A and B are shown apart, each in its own frame.
Chain A
Amino acid sequence: MNIPETLKYTKDHEWLKILENDEALVGITDFAQSSLGDITYVELPEEGEEFSEGDTFGVVESVKAASDLYMPVDAEVIEGNAVLEESPEKVNSSAFEEGWIVKIKITDPSQLELLLDAAAYAEIAKD
């Protein structure tokens, strides 16, 4: 199971990649996409929408199941990954790169400390 060292994680199987200026990309992990199977639809939030940590900000659907997406930290949406509207399978083929789901502006960077590192997430992502 691929769990990049450089990312932060949640127990809900989302990853967060910190960019500059308190911006970040959020997606679902390789473990999550593998559990869901072929992803057929990703519901993206609107630009400018604000969420608190733990809020549902979208849905990932596969043939087998629909799974809510939870915001890892308080944040405002900069943009959703428009590529996923036509090619949701990118979440399967490239969960940590092309398959990112939303770009956010982090409201309270101190919350980042509450996220899991790769080693801690690896404990959760066991079958």
Chain B
Amino acid sequence: MSDLKRTPLYSFNVAQGGRMVDFAGWEMPVQFGGILDEHKTTRAAAGLFDVSHMGEAIVSGEQATEFLDYVLTNDISSMEVGRVVYSLMCYENGGVVDDLLVYRQGADSYLLCLNASNVDKDVDWLMSHMDGFAVKVKDVSSDYGLIALQGKEAFPILEILCDSDLKTLKYYHFVDAKVAGVDCIVSRTGYTGEKGVELFVRSEDAASLAEALFEVGKPKGLVLAGLGARDSLRLEASYSLYGHEISEEITPVQANLMWTVKLSKKSDFVGKAALVAEKEKGPEKKIVFFKTGTRRIIRAGTALMCGPEVAGMVVSGTFSPVLNEGIGSALVDAKFLKQELSVDNRGKAMAIYATKPPFIELNPQA
């Protein structure tokens, strides 16, 4: 795995027994103690995730707000400093370049948090749309480590090490603070459905921060968690993952993400016309979440059948350790949406059961 990139927590992950795999060109831990245990412990107590492979870009300048309102689907101009917003960045045809978090750090300054596999594409896309805007875009991915601390015990753990009062930190807000003596952006966000934070930290400080959090957290039940649990947690919470529920081909209309697309904002934005048209016409396909009713996992890439006809394709599939059954999502042709669907299991039809997301009750803003 010598060509793979390593996060600032690489040595920490290996020393803690992480099983390292290639993920989007990064050498990342897929698991430590075991995916099911990491998942359940994150729901019951807390999990610590190295997500330093995620990219960061700074967008700044006099017209940074106008620029982001033009390239992103969510409403940027109404963000207050200290707010975080989840947004999509779309192509003209409504397909998705990436999904990202936008941090308003100042009147004219934003931090974007990008999917690891999309950083270069995103930065190129941003730069190719800068014409006419007084704005600068800078890829600062290598400057930052990113550590997610998620679960009921996340705040009790963090409060031991943080110099600031975090009681007033609301969901989808962030604050600059020192944690374990290290400068951090403490962001009340996450990808698990649990209450928790994501900590942006200078790369050179990331390992000492992770060590301090783990040391203080262990007595409170904190475990290290890998990308395996990250995926099963996000799917149980029904959060979209780029390349699965959203992609170049799968639009926000299809993915039920129109809540991130502000058609009524003053600014025109890339993809608006296509999304308006698709919404009016009704999408040809929709993302549907499903359970398998058994312990079986139906994996991404499996064809969904309606009788003899192909009705769609599974885009995510895993095991829910909370429900003890297979869960997943699929892109289904509109005409089959209300039909009974199945997959082929060695010649036998196996039913799937469409489910309103999320799969379990979650309250990350509590």
Contacts and interface: CB of A to CB of B under 8 A. Distances in A.
A40 B319 CA distance: 7
B34 A37 contact: yes
A37 B229 CA distance: 12
A79 interface: no
Given A37-B35, A38-B36, A63 B295 contact: no
A40 B31 contact: no
A40 B228 contact: no
Interface string A59-82: 001011010000000000000000
Given A37-B31, A63-B228, A63-B319, A88 B295 contact: yes
A43 B30 CA distance: 25
Contacts of A38: 34-37
Interface in B1-41: 30-31, 34-37
B299 interface: yes
B130 to A, nearest CB: 41
Range of interface residues on A (Cβ < 8 Å): 10 to 19
B49 to A, nearest CB: 16
A32 to B, nearest CB: 15
A43 to B, nearest CB: 8
B318 to A, nearest CB: 6
A79 to B, nearest CB: 19
B208 interface: no
Interface string A23-38: 0000000000000011
A63 B294 contact: no
B35 A63 contact: yes
Nearest to A88: B295
B79 interface: no
Contacts of A37: 31, 34-35, 228
Contacts of B232: 63
Given A37-B228, A40-B319, A66 B297 contact: yes
B296 A63 contact: no
A26 to B, nearest CB: 20
Interface of A: 37-38, 40-41, 43, 61, 63-64, 66, 88-89, 92
15 contacts: A37-B31, A37-B34, A38-B34, A40-B36, A41-B294, A41-B326, A61-B296, A63-B36, A63-B228, A63-B232, A63-B297, A63-B318, A63-B319, A64-B35, A66-B299
Given A61-B296, A61-B319, 11 more contacts: A37-B34, A38-B34, A40-B319, A41-B319, A61-B297, A63-B35, A63-B36, A63-B318, A64-B30, A89-B36, A92-B34
